[in-house]
Amino acid sequence: MTQTAPASADAAAASAAPVIEIRDLHKSYGPLEVLKGVSVTARRGQVISLIGSSGSGKSTLLRCCNLLEDSQAGEILFEGEAVKWQGAGLARRPADRAQVTRFRTNLSMVFQQFNLWSHMSILQNVMEAPLTVLGRPVAEVEPLARELLAKVGIGDKAEAWPAQLSGGQQQRAAIARALCMRPEALLFDEPTSALDPELQQEVVKVIKDLAAEHRTMILVTHDMRLAADVSDHVIFLHQGKIEEEGPPEALFGAPKSERLKQFLSATL
Ligand code: ADP
Ligand code: MG
């Protein structure tokens, strides 16, 4: 049988359907323009890393993707469906609450500070959103939650309280919680930055496993080695604009922009 294999995983991803598309996005906090026309497309199975100095707009861009932040101009699409807006400029808001819920459900976020609910067990934390937001039955959600906790290596911590877990275990619980929504894509905002170096690796391993499963992901990270290892595409953000982007070999191996060169030499 003759079949043309894709030249590389990159080439395969480049032709896959877009899951998230951001087109010429502009976002200001009052007079401060934080995103100045940013476009990003994450295709199915693609891992995109966002790098850049503190304050360059990485978190803001991620939060705009799943509509945790408003934006003033540009388009945001999930699986080809554009966000419907009402109002314009600083008054622009999503018009359709059901659509916002659909976006949030499908673009699950993992935060730097885990944000687990301290008054709930680990299992309850993982089950909470599928039960309350999606209205799924416990009989369906609980086995999935336990399976996901096992997958991230803390199957024995289901009944524990967040405070009884290490930071690395809490972050892995937060990843299980994000996965329990059965999202189409995962958004990570510096998932290892709050952890001691020896605990970062256990979270890195989970992220690498997810990348190997070809999960669609956008990852904000200060960990250049992680970005180089897992990404199909890397975006360097500088003062709210994409300064340079490309495959990790190019960005890390042969950066073109002086700002990126400076950034990389300062982070190594
Ligand atoms: P990064 O994640 O790359 O460090 P952020 O997206 O957090 O950058 O921030 C980009 C810019 O927006 C910074 O100048 C920051 O101070 C500002 N900013 C972020 N959040 C807010 C907010 N809620 N209100 C006002 N300014 C903000
Ligand atoms: Mg940030």
Q: What is the pLDDT of residues 174-192, one digit of tens each?
A: 999 999 999 999 999 999 9
pLDDT-derived band at 7 (thresholds 50, 70, 90) equals very low
Percent residues over pLDDT 90 in the chain: 93
Instruction: Please give the number of the atom of ligand 1 that sits closest to the Cα of 63.
Output: 6
Structure confidence at residue 2 (pLDDT): 40
19-66 pLDDT tens trace: 999 999 999 999 999 999 999 999 999 999 999 999 999 999 999 999
Structure confidence at residue 15 (pLDDT): 82
For residues 76-102, average pLDDT: 95
pLDDT-derived band at 11 (thresholds 50, 70, 90) equals low
Structure confidence at residue 267 (pLDDT): 87
Residue nearest to atom 5 of ligand 1 (CA): 57
* DSSP label of 192: T
Instruction: Please give the number of the atom of ligand 1 that sits closest to the Cα of 52.
Output: 3
pLDDT-derived band at 121 (thresholds 50, 70, 90) equals very high
* Alpha carbon 89 to chain centroid, angstroms: 26
CA of 38 to the centre of ligand 1 (A): 15
Structure confidence at residue 12 (pLDDT): 60
Structure confidence at residue 235 (pLDDT): 98
The 3-class secondary structure across 127-173, one letter per residue, is: HHHHHHCCCCCHHHHHHHHHHHHHHCCCHHHCCCCHHHCCHHHHHHH
Q: 3-class DSSP state for residue 187?
A: strand
Structure confidence at residue 5 (pLDDT): 43
207-231 pLDDT tens trace: 999 999 999 999 999 999 999 999 9
For residues 116-129, average pLDDT: 98
Is the separation of the CB atoms in 201 and 209 below 8 Å? no
Mean pLDDT for all residues in the chain? 94
Instruction: Please give the number of the atom of ligand 1 that sits closest to the Cα of 189.
Output: 2
Residue where the block lists tokens 């709930």: 120
Structure confidence at residue 13 (pLDDT): 63
Residue 153 has pLDDT above 50, yes or no: yes
Crossing angle of the two packed helices 167-179 and 138-151, in degrees rounded to 10: 140
Other Cβ atoms less than 10 A from the Cβ of 164: the count is: 12
Higher pLDDT, 71 or 2: 71
Is the separation of the CB atoms in 74 and 26 below 8 Å? yes
Percent residues over pLDDT 70 in the chain: 94
CA of 189 to the centre of ligand 2 (A): 7
CA atoms 257, 9, 6, 12: torsion sign: negative
For residues 127-142, average pLDDT: 97
Residue ranges lining ligand 1, Cβ < 6 Å: 29, 32, 34, 52, 54-60
Q: 3-class DSSP state for residue 122?
A: helix
Structure confidence at residue 57 (pLDDT): 98
CA of 39 to the centre of ligand 2 (A): 18
CA of 57 to the centre of ligand 2 (A): 7
Q: Can you tell me the ipTM of this complex?
A: 0.98
Structure confidence at residue 17 (pLDDT): 94
Ligand whose nearest atom lies closest to the CA of 50: 1
Is the separation of the CB atoms in 178 and 197 below 8 Å? no
- Which domains are present in the chain? 17-116+188-266 (3.40.50.300)
CA dihedral (153, 47, 64, 22) in degrees, to 10, reads -160
Instruction: Please give the number of the atom of ligand 1 that sits closest to the Cα of 61.
Output: 6
CA of 191 to the centre of ligand 2 (A): 10
Q: Rounded CA gap, 187 and 191, in Å?
A: 10
CA of 55 to the centre of ligand 2 (A): 7
Instruction: Please give the number of the atom of ligand 1 that sits closest to the Cα of 53.
Output: 3
Q: Which residues 6+ apart lie within 8 Å of 249 measured at CB?
A: none
Ligand whose nearest atom lies closest to the CA of 52: 1
* Alpha carbon 112 to chain centroid, angstroms: 11
Q: Rounded CA gap, 136 and 109, in Å?
A: 20
Residue 163 has pLDDT above 50, yes or no: yes
Best residue among 22, 25, 27, 32 to mutate for probing ligand 1, ranked by most atoms within 8 Å of CB: 32
Q: Which residues 6+ apart lie within 8 Å of 41 measured at CB?
A: 18, 20, 21, 22
Which residues are found with C-beta within 5 Å of the ion, ligand 2? 59
Best residue among 25, 32, 33, 34 to mutate for probing ligand 1, ranked by most atoms within 8 Å of CB: 34
Query: Rounded to two decimals, what is the model's pTM?
Result: 0.94
